[in-house]
Chains A and B, each alone.
Chain A
Amino acid sequence: MTRNRGSSDAGPGVVIRARNVVKEYPYAGDAVHALRGVSVEILAAEWVAIMGPSGCGKSTLLNVLAGIDAPTSGEVELRDQPLAGMTEGERARLRLVSVGFVFQRFHLLAVLTALENIELPMAEAGVPRAERRRRSLELLDYVGLSNRAGHRPPQLSGGEQQRVAIARAVANRPAILFADEPTGELDQKTGEGIMDLFARLNGDGATLVTVTHDPRVAEHAGRTIRMADGEIVNGNNGNHEW
Chain B
Amino acid sequence: MALAGIAVSAALLLDMTMLASGLTESFGELTRGQGYALRVTPRGTLPFDSEAGVRDGAAVQQRIEAVKGVRKVAPVLGAQLYLVQGDSARESLFTVGVDPDAQALYVLTAGESPRPGEVVVSEPLARHYGVGVGGQLGLAAELDISLGRPREVHPFRVSGVGEFVYDAEDQRSLGMPIVDVQRLTGRPGEVSLFAVAAEEGLSDDLLSAEIERAVPEVSVYSTAELMAEMDQRLLYFRQLATILGSVALAVTALLVSTIIAIGVRERFGEIAALRAIGVSRQRLLLGVLVEGVTLAGAGSLLGLPLGLWMAGRLDRILLDFPGIPARLSFFVLDAQRVALALSIVILTGALAGLLPGLGALRLPLGRALREESE
User: CB distance B278 to A68 under 8 Å?
Assistant: no
User: CB distance A92 to B281 under 8 Å?
Assistant: yes
Residues on A with beta carbons closer than 8 Å to the beta carbon of B280: 89, 92, 124
Q: How many whole Å from B359's CB to the nearest CB in chain A? A: 16
28 contacts between A and B (CB under 8 A): A59-B370, A60-B366, A63-B369, A64-B366, A68-B366, A68-B369, A69-B365, A69-B366, A89-B281, A92-B278, A92-B279, A92-B280, A94-B278, A95-B276, A96-B278, A101-B276, A103-B273, A103-B276, A103-B369, A105-B372, A107-B272, A109-B274, A120-B274, A121-B277, A121-B278, A125-B278, A180-B373, A181-B373
User: CB distance B279 to A96 under 8 Å?
Assistant: yes
**Secondary structure dominating the interface of B:** helix
* Given contacts A92-B275, A121-B277, A68 and B365 within 8 Å (CB-CB): yes
From B269, B276, B281, B373, give the contact of A68 (CB < 8 A).
Answer: B276
Is the CB of B283 closer than 8 A to any CB of chain A?
yes
> What is the bound-complex CA distance between A101 and B279, given in angstroms?
12
User: CB distance A59 to B373 under 8 Å?
Assistant: yes
Residues on B with beta carbons closer than 8 Å to the beta carbon of A25: 367
B interface with A by C-beta (< 8 Å): 269-270, 272-281, 283, 364-367, 369-370, 372-373
* Given contacts A92-B278, A101-B277, A107 and B270 within 8 Å (CB-CB): yes
A residues contacting the other copy or chain, number (CB 8 A): 34
The residue on A at minimum CB distance from B270 is A107
The residue on A at minimum CB distance from B280 is A92
> What is the bound-complex CA distance between A180 and B365, given in angstroms?
15
> What 1/0 mask marks residues of chain A from 26 to 38 whose CB sits below 8 Å from any chain B CB?
0000000000000
Q: How many whole Å from B137's CB to the nearest CB in chain A? A: 75
A interface with B by C-beta (< 8 Å): 25, 59-60, 63-64, 66, 68-70, 88-89, 92-97, 99-101, 103-105, 107, 109, 120-121, 124-125, 168-169, 172, 180-181
User: CB distance B277 to A105 under 8 Å?
Assistant: no
User: CB distance B373 to A105 under 8 Å?
Assistant: yes
Most buried by A among B269, B270, B278, B372: B278
Residues on A with beta carbons closer than 8 Å to the beta carbon of B370: 59-60
User: CB distance A97 to B366 under 8 Å?
Assistant: no
User: CB distance B277 to A169 under 8 Å?
Assistant: yes
User: CB distance A97 to B278 under 8 Å?
Assistant: yes
Most buried by A among B274, B277, B367, B370: B277
User: CB distance B373 to A95 under 8 Å?
Assistant: no
* With A96-B277, A107-B269 already in contact, 16 other A-B pairs whose C-beta atoms are closer than 8 Å: A60-B366, A68-B365, A69-B366, A89-B280, A89-B281, A100-B277, A101-B276, A103-B273, A105-B372, A107-B273, A107-B274, A120-B277, A120-B279, A124-B280, A124-B283, A180-B369
The residue on B at minimum CB distance from A165 is B273
Most buried by B among A60, A92, A104, A168: A92
Q: How many whole Å from A185's CB to the nearest CB in chain B? A: 11
Q: How many whole Å from B363's CB to the nearest CB in chain A? A: 12
Residues on B with beta carbons closer than 8 Å to the beta carbon of A121: 277-279
* 4 closest A-B pairs by CB: A96-B278, A69-B366, A107-B273, A95-B278
Q: How many whole Å from B352's CB to the nearest CB in chain A? A: 22
User: CB distance A168 to B277 under 8 Å?
Assistant: yes
User: CB distance A93 to B278 under 8 Å?
Assistant: yes
> What is the bound-complex CA distance between A93 and B281, given in angstroms?
11
The residue on A at minimum CB distance from B366 is A69
The residue on B at minimum CB distance from A106 is B273
Q: How many whole Å from A206's CB to the nearest CB in chain B? A: 16
Residues on B with beta carbons closer than 8 Å to the beta carbon of A169: 277
* Given contacts A68-B366, A124-B283, A180-B373, A109 and B278 within 8 Å (CB-CB): no
Residues on A with beta carbons closer than 8 Å to the beta carbon of B369: 59, 63, 68, 103, 180
Residues on A with beta carbons closer than 8 Å to the beta carbon of B373: 59, 103-105, 180-181
User: CB distance A95 to B281 under 8 Å?
Assistant: no
Residues on B with beta carbons closer than 8 Å to the beta carbon of A60: 366, 370
Residues on A with beta carbons closer than 8 Å to the beta carbon of B283: 124
> What is the bound-complex CA distance between A89 and B270, given in angstroms?
19
The residue on A at minimum CB distance from B364 is A69
User: CB distance B281 to A88 under 8 Å?
Assistant: yes
> What is the bound-complex CA distance between A99 and B367, given in angstroms?
19
> What is the bound-complex CA distance between A109 and B370, given in angstroms?
19
Q: How many whole Å from B345's CB to the nearest CB in chain A? A: 25
Residues on B with beta carbons closer than 8 Å to the beta carbon of A125: 278
> What is the bound-complex CA distance between A76 and B320, given in angstroms?
78
Residues on B with beta carbons closer than 8 Å to the beta carbon of A88: 281
> What is the bound-complex CA distance between A70 and B269, given in angstroms?
19
> What is the bound-complex CA distance between A64 and B365, given in angstroms?
11
The residue on A at minimum CB distance from B278 is A96
Q: How many whole Å from A214's CB to the nearest CB in chain B? A: 15
> What is the bound-complex CA distance between A70 and B364, given in angstroms?
9
User: CB distance B278 to A105 under 8 Å?
Assistant: no
Q: How many whole Å from A125's CB to the nearest CB in chain B? A: 8
Q: How many whole Å from B282's CB to the nearest CB in chain A? A: 9
> What is the bound-complex CA distance between A213 and B278, given in angstroms?
26
User: CB distance B366 to A109 under 8 Å?
Assistant: no
Residues on A with beta carbons closer than 8 Å to the beta carbon of B367: 25
The residue on B at minimum CB distance from A171 is B277
> What is the bound-complex CA distance between A66 and B366, given in angstroms?
10
Q: How many whole Å from A130's CB to the nearest CB in chain B? A: 21
> What is the bound-complex CA distance between A24 and B342, given in angstroms?
49
> What is the bound-complex CA distance between A97 and B283, given in angstroms?
16
Q: How many whole Å from A92's CB to the nearest CB in chain B? A: 5
The residue on B at minimum CB distance from A120 is B279
